[in-house]
Amino acid sequence: MAPVLSFPDNFLWGTATAAHQIEGGNTNNDWWRFEHTPGSGTAESSGDACDSWNRWNEDQQIVSDLGLGAYRFSIEWSRIEPADGEFSTVALDHYRAQLIAAHQRGLKPVVTFHHFTTPQWLADLGGFEYEQAPERFGRFVAKATEHLGDLISMACTINEPNIVAFIGYRIGFFPPGGVADKARYDVVADALCRAHRLAVDALRAGPGTFPIGMTLSMADWQALPGGEAHLHEFRSHMEDRYLAATEGDDFIGVQCYTRHLVGPNGVIEPGEDVRRTLMGYEFYPECTGATVRRAAEVTGLPVYLTENGIGTDNDEDRIEYLGRAIASAHGVLEDGIDLRGYFCWSLLDNFEWVFGYKPTFGLVAVDRTTFVRTPKPSAAYFGAIAQANAVEV
Ligand code: BGC
């Protein structure tokens, strides 16, 4: 019989989504504008996405049927605050209904307050380059918490601030499409860290008492001979400056998908012979163990894997990836690291940002015309792991 790796009691198993990627019709944020800007490189409009604005109940039921304990989703700032200082009770009530329903199903709702999208009114003021942007975010979080906090089980302030800043100001595939702009990158990175701190304060003011943290995109950086200096440099600007902003938080959310090999000339792109995912990067599920270990060592905080998964059109590859990633995560427990949960990205095949709907990360397929949801074999596989609280290797 294959060895079985058991997880501690209360280990939290969940799946994750983000508002703009699944709700549809989010026409009032910077991403919608970017999708419709000629030359932005976005493959297609997010459009109706998965119509989860209307079908969220069905989504939650799937999570519950899989036997998971938690559902991580984001609330859309541009719907809740469609204009500067103007708040929508209807939008807040919409999310309140989701929180109530999650509890009725025995699911812990994990709420993300910023998952890549910024309202157009704030983008017009300069986005996170606008000097008051962190205060604006803090005000939004305070307002949303007033309305929702009593029902929140866990809060993620900002999803991957490092990706928002890096891809938006140095690579150009995220709004506002800045390329190689180190000065603006630094401004935005610092602003996002400050926004995170203000959000933590707003969340702590309640109502409700729940763990609060940031989620960070991390990779298993591995140096080849001569690559150590570059590795140190990449990690410090992609990870460490953000990890430093988590002091005093309740947890750190690690999100990882692959590894990066670093040689004397920088990051080495995977060659033709390397097994890759639909995202172009290496198929490397074992990134979970190394990233969780590092996040725990650097911050001293409890860790949740708030995202991990694979964009693939071969569901057997997804099953292999998840099994190996979860086994690798288990390895850190044996070293006494306080890993408390694992969230699979993603529940649904959804809008994968600049790549449109092509890279499919979902445990559940979504018909692009009828929006019918069809769980894949990997959904049952992942659900069985969660229910057994154990993975077979
Ligand atoms: C993001 C998700 C994205 C996923 C897969 C993460 O960086 O939080 O929004 O879909 O990676 O690329």
Q: Is the CB of 349 under 6 A from ligand 1?
A: no
Domain-embedded: residue 198: yes
Q: Which residues pair with 307 in a beta bridge?
A: 255
Nearest CA owner, ligand 1 atom 9: 18
Classify the phi-psi angles of 273: left when phi > 0, otherwise alpha if psi is within -120 to 50, otherwise beta.
alpha
How big is the chain by its Cα radius of gyration, in Å? 20
Residue type, 220: D
Q: How many domains does the chain have?
A: 1
From ligand 1's centre to the CA of 346, what distance in Å? 9
From ligand 1's centre to the CA of 309, what distance in Å? 9
Look at residue 261 and give its three-state secondary structure.
strand
Helices (H), 81-212: 89-104, 120-124, 133-148, 161-166, 182-204
Q: Is the CB of 299 under 6 A from ligand 1?
A: no
Distances (CA, A) of 173 to 37, 340, 358, 359: 12, 33, 16, 16
Residue type, 380: A
Residue entry with tokens 């990627």: 21
Question: Ligand 1, from 307, 310, 350, 351: best to mutate by most atoms within 8 Å of Cβ?
Answer: 307
User: Atom of ligand 1 at shortest distance to CA of 309?
Assistant: 5
Q: Is the CB of 361 under 6 A from ligand 1?
A: yes
Residue 262: CATH number of its domain: 3.20.20.80
Nearest CA owner, ligand 1 atom 3: 352
Domain-embedded: residue 15: no
Q: Is the CB of 29 under 6 A from ligand 1?
A: no
Domain-embedded: residue 75: yes
Structural domain boundaries enclosing 377: 36-388
User: Atom of ligand 1 at shortest distance to CA of 217?
Assistant: 7
pLDDT tens series, the chain, 393 aa: 678 999 999 999 999 999 999 999 999 999 999 999 999 999 999 999 999 999 999 999 999 999 999 999 999 999 999 999 999 999 999 999 999 999 999 999 999 999 999 999 999 999 999 999 999 999 999 999 999 999 999 999 999 999 999 999 999 999 999 999 999 999 999 999 999 999 999 999 999 999 999 999 999 999 999 999 999 999 999 999 999 999 999 999 999 999 999 999 999 999 999 999 999 999 999 999 999 999 999 999 999 999 999 999 999 999 999 999 999 999 999 999 999 999 999 999 999 999 999 999 999 999 999 999 999 999 999 999 999 999 999
378/375 Cα distance (integer angstroms): 8
Q: Is the CB of 51 under 6 A from ligand 1?
A: no
| Claim: this prediction has a pTM higher than 0.85 | yes
354/351 Cα distance (integer angstroms): 9
Domain-embedded: residue 217: yes
Residue entry with tokens 């799946």: 15
Domain-embedded: residue 13: no
Domain-embedded: residue 255: yes
Q: Is the CB of 352 under 6 A from ligand 1?
A: yes
